[in-house]
Amino acid sequence: MRKRWLPIFLIPFLLFHGYNAKAAEKEERNWQDETIYFLMVDRFNNGDASNDFNVNMNDPKAYQGGDFQGVIDKLDYLKDMGFTAIWLTPIFDNQDGGYHGYWINDFYKTDEHFGSIEKFKELVKEAHKRDMKVIVDFVANHVGPDNPWVNDPAKKDWFHEKKPIIGSGQSSLENGWIYDLPDLNQDNPEVKKYLIDAAKWWIKETDIDGYRLDTVKHVPITFWKDFAKEVKSVKKNFYLLGEVWSEDPNYIKKYQEAGIDGLVDYPLNGPLKEAFVKPDVSMERPFTMWDINKNIYPHPELMGSFLDNHDMQRYTRDMIEAKQFPGTRWQLALTYLYTTPEIPIVYYGTEIAQDGGNDPDNRRFMNFRANKDLIDYMTKIGELRQQLPALRRGDMKLLYQKDGMAVFKREYKDETVVVAINNTSKSQKVVIPEKDLKPDKELRGLQHDDLVKDKNGNYTIIIDREKSEIYALADKSGVNIKFISSLALVYIAFMIFLIAAWRRGKKNKNKNN
């Protein structure tokens, strides 16, 4: 009897002593609420040995065996870490050797190494069961060198004349052959129709939720305007994430104005990596970039922030070269990524601090070895990002920054979250005036249970070296008369119930005797 009712007695105490984030108003889920895990299908997980054609684990440029079934098998793994969306490299039929998916042969078929279209539909369905969205890489700029169209006289005008890209002029970018790949002529109405029809077909056929658009700046902006309009007509809230490799936000913004919802934020990437690769480095530039983005992009909140991807050296390698411990470095960098505006994009293997140099070494097969500390950390900040709307939708204001120590706040409606990141080699004390927050409140640490109360008009945050804390601004804790009264009524009602149950049981026992 005692064991059965003990949890009921404990629950009010747990509710009283623990911090519960305020329940957010039920709002329509938007793309700025997502946390994206980016994976290369061939390099992630082998779930079906029957499609292991030409697999050679010893050749970094050969197929490694990853497939749709492998992704399905790991959906719970990704969900448990807090990811709400997955981005897959191109899944379309590629020429031999196109393990990465960017040498497309047929836009209407899945690659035989990954599985059938029925298996891909199952992947999308299983992801949706877990409330996860699916983004697929779409290539509109070029096809594989051996694509049948290349040698088809009837499709000669489907391609631009073969010539290299020279300089950064827009004409050369759009008409030249990048990496000697046959460059499609999107000004040709047949090519334009084919690409848009194929893109719409996959949405209708498989119910995917978004496209990551490859090599965007190499395709005319007039094409992207029509492409965006057409594909978004098929499914509500369909997301387009574009790749424009440029350091100039003013250059990138025109593609968002053309209808591409968000772009991977290359201008932020460099300053972000520099800030966290080692301690005692100023974080001024990443915060300055957000101020710039707010004033340039129509929808800065839909941009995608990232630390590395399949086209650059692994960030773990940068840390190793700087003679740093990757686990600590990643925790601090990911804290920034998860708690600042923009949609965080995490490259597969980050959770195990996977190492790798430039392509193809940055595309090693995922081995899922345990890195419990980092996985647990990502899981925790992933939970906080979902629980606290201010971390996904709030404004951001920098409260303090010096030589690697930063404190900033995110505000959304009546919720205020304060983030402190100590990327220095010493413990730090930062005094935040109450005018920058609110008077007579307290900051409740949600990662390490820190508690900072407003004292003499200031909030004094003390944080260990190379650590971070996410605080919720809340009323000062103390005796809550209303809560205690309500709790007393609950216990009185419960005791009456127990006495009544005891009397009823005793009465039944006497009858039976």
Going from the C-alpha of 504 to that of each of 136, 189, 494, 511, 513, the distances in angstroms are 63, 83, 15, 11, 14
Which runs of consecutive H residues, i.e. helices, occur in 130-279? Answer: 170-175, 189-206, 221-232, 249-257, 266-276
| Residue 214: active-site member | yes
Q: How many CB atoms lie within 10 A of CB 198?
A: 16
The secondary element (H helix, E strand) that includes residue 68 is helix 68-73
Residues 6+ apart with CB under 8 A from 264: 241, 242, 243, 244, 303, 304, 306, 309, 345
Active-site pick, 42, 93, 183, 214: 214
Query: Residue 396 in 3-state DSSP?
Result: strand
Q: Which of 456, 460, 454, 459 is nearest to 428 (CA)?
A: 460
Tokens at 256, concatenated: 């968002």
Q: Which of 264, 251, 199, 244 is nearest to 226 (CA)?
A: 199
Rounded to the nearest 10°, the torsion over CA 232, 234, 239, 242 is -60
Contact 414, 22 (CB under 8 A): yes
Secondary structure (DSSP) of 456-485: TTEEEEEE-TTEEEEEEEEEPPS--HHHHH
Residues 6+ apart with CB under 8 A from 397: 408, 409, 411, 436
Tokens at 30, concatenated: 């938007």
Residues 6+ apart with CB under 8 A from 19: 444, 446, 472, 474
Active-site pick, 93, 174, 209, 243: 243
Q: Can you tell me the distance from the alpha carbon of 147 to that of 508, in angstroms, rounded to the nearest whole number? A: 84
Secondary structure (DSSP) of 13-31: HHHHHS--PPPPP-----G
Q: Which of 479, 359, 384, 464 is nearest to 421 (CA)?
A: 464
Specify the pairing of strand 343-347 against strand 36-39.
parallel
SS (H, E, C) 248-267: CHHHHHHHHHCCCCEEECHH
Secondary structure (DSSP) of 408-449: EEEEETTEEEEEEEE-SSS-EEEEEEGGGS-TTEEEEESSS-
Q: Which of 332, 324, 377, 372 is nearest to 352 (CA)?
A: 372
Tokens at 7, concatenated: 């949890």
Q: Which of 413, 406, 421 is nearest to 390 (CA)?
A: 413
| Residue 106: active-site member | no
Active site residues: 214, 243
